[in-house]
Amino acid sequence: YTHTNGESPEGQRIMRDICRWHVEEFAYLVGRLKAVPEGHGTLLDNTCAIFAHEHAEANPHKDNGLALILAGHAGGMKTGLHSKMRNTIGDLYLTVAEEVFKTPLEKGFPTAEKKISGIV
């Protein structure tokens, strides 16, 4: 028995378990960053960490369904938000580079069309 996408239920279970492990490891990293004092806050306060779920279709031509998690407060990043966007992964990287890290990209970023508002 296979699903319409050609994967067996066992293959889907294995993929789910791998994805869960990746998210748990990212959560562990964020917890460790939050536990390290730095300056007037924590290491997480001075960090921008991005988790990209690489099992979605994330090539330059099709990046729909890509789950992303941003963590940290570097550059005044806003936290506690959840949204579904129609931006590209290039838009996110361009926004992080220019708005969070204040690093202008003279040539832009591949697949970037515009910066994302509301992150900083």
75-106 tens-digit pLDDT: 999 988 888 888 888 899 999 999 999 999 88
| pLDDT band (50, 70, 90) for residue 2 | very low
Residue 15, SS3 per DSSP: helix
Query: Using CB atoms within 10 A of its CB, is residue 22 exposed (0-12), middle (13-18) or buried (19+)?
Result: middle
d(CA 89, CA 102): 18
Range ranked top by mean pLDDT from 29-38, 53-62, 108-117? 29-38
Higher confidence at residue 64 or residue 17? 17
pLDDT (mean) for 16-33: 94
pLDDT (mean) for 55-70: 66
